[in-house]
Amino acid sequence: MQYVELKNKLAVHNGYADYGDRLRQKYEDPEFESDVDNLYTEMRPLYLHLHAYVRRKLFDTYGGEIIDLKGTLPQSLLGDMWGRFWVNLYSIGEPFPGEPSMDVTKALVDQGYTINRMFETSDAFYTSMGLKPLPPTFYNLSMLDKPSDGREVICHATAWDFYDGTDFREGANDGFHEAIGELMSMVVSTPKHLFAIGLLDQLPTDNKTEINYLFKQALSTVSTLPFHYLQDVWRWRAFRGDYPNFAEWNDEFWKLSASIVGVHAPAARTPEDLDCPSIFHVATDYDMIRYFTRTILQFQFAESLCEAAGHSGPLTNCDFSNSTLAGAKLSNMLEMGRSRPWADALEVLTGTRKMNARAIREYFAPLENWLIETNLANGDSPGWSTKPPGGGGVGSRMSDRRIIYFMTFIPYVFVAFMR
C-alpha cells in the first residue's frame, strides 16, 4: 500500500494522473490502454484454442480430479511457477510424436561448436544482411562463459551503455529491442535456416513437422500474451484506485487471472497474500506490457523483413539472412534508437504506425486450424467456466462459454462447407 501511495505521489508530482499513467506514457500513445486491449481481443480466439488443447493434454496426464475439461487450469501445472511460459509442456502436448525433431543440440555437439563459434555464427547471420560485424572488443571485453574461479556473476545476457560515445541509444520503446531479439531467435531456428547452415540434414516435407514446430513456438509466444497483459492491467487498476480495499487486492488479481488467462491459484489464498509481485519484473518495477508488445511487434517485423527479402509463402518458411535489402530496412529502423517517437520507427520498418495482430495470426494460422479441428474432434470447447474447483466463482467476460464456442468455430464450419 505504501509503495502504491508513494509511486502515485511521485507520478502526480511529475504531471501524471497516477503511476500507471506514467508507465503507459512511455509508449507515447494516449489510446495505448485501449489499443492493447484491442490487440488482446484479436489474439484471444487463437489463445482459447491453445488453452483448450493444453487442458485436454493436462487432463490426460493428471486426470479429472486435477483438471476440469470445462474450467480454468491450475497455474502451477503450466511449465513454471507463474504459468508464464508453457514450453515445458511440449513433451505431453506434442501434436505428432515421432516426427523429425528441430532440436539441433546433437548436431552442435557433433560439429564441434564452441561458445565462440556460436557467437561467430550469430555475427555471420547479421553481416550476411550487410550489418556491421562485432568489434574485437566484444570478444575481448565480454564475459561469454561463466567463470570457474568461484566468482559469483549474473549470467543473464545484457548489453550496457558505458556512455563512452561508442555505444548505442535506447530502443524506440521497451518492446522494440525485445521484439528484435525474439524475432532473430525465431528466424535462425526455422528449418530453412538450420538446413542452410548445416545443422539439419534435410528439410521437413510434411505438415506434421510444421504443426509440431508451430505448437512449440506457440508455447513460448501465444501463451504469454494474456499473462503479460494481466500483470499490467492489474497494476494499472491498482494505481488508478480501482481496488480501494487492500484486503481484496489478491482476490482481484485471481479474478483477472481466471478471466484473462484461464488459470486459478493452485493453493488457497488469503487477504494476507499478494501474488502479482511474486514475479521479478513486478517486484522490481519493470512493466510487463513490453513483453506483450514485443510478441505482437516480433511478427510485424518478421513480415516486413521477409517481404524485403523477396520471400513468398508462409512466414514459417522465411529466412531473411543474406538479404542486404532486409538488412538495410532493419538498420534504418535500429539506427533511430529512441531519437524519434516509436511510431516513426515502426513506420520505417513496416509502413504502418500501429501495432496489429494480423501477422502473428497469419503465422499461426496452420496451427490454429489444426487446433480447431482437433478440439472439435475431442469434444473440447474453447473457453472456460471461471468457477474454480471447490466453488467461489467470480465474474468474467467468459461467462457464456456456449457463445464463445459457437463464434470461434464459425471459421471452421465455413471452411468445411466450402470444401
Q: Which residue ranges are tagged as binding site for chloride?
A: 27, 290
In sequence order, what are the residues at sequence separation of 6 or more whose Cβ sits closer than 8 angstroms to the Cβ of residue 294? 175, 178, 179, 182
Cell numbers 471461471 label which residue?
A: 386
The answer to whether the beta carbons of residues 327 and 387 sit under 8 Å apart is no
Place of cell 523477396: 310
Position 387, amino acid: K
Binding-site positions for Zn(2+)? 178
- 136's CB contacts (< 8 A; 6+ apart) are none
* Pair 348, 331: CB distance under 8 Å: no
Could you give phi then psi for residue 71, rounded to 5 degrees? Answer: -120, -170
Residue 194's alpha-carbon distances to 28, 188, 219, 302, in angstroms, are 38, 7, 20, 17
- Burial class (CB within 10 angstroms; exposed 0-12, middle 13-18, buried 19+) of 325: middle
Determine contact, residues 90/215, Cβ cutoff 8 Å. yes
- 361 CB-near residues (< 8 Å, 6+ apart): 42, 43, 46, 368
d(CA 152, CA 154): 7
In which residue are the cell numbers 555475427 written?
123
DSSP alpha helix (H) spans, 142-223: 174-188, 191-196, 207-220
Question: Which residues participate in the annotated binding site?
Answer: 27, 178, 290
**Residue 255, class by beta-carbon neighbours within 10 Å (0-12 exposed, 13-18 middle, 19+ buried)?**
middle
Amino acid of residue 66: I
Rounded Cα distance, 223 and 238, in Å: 24
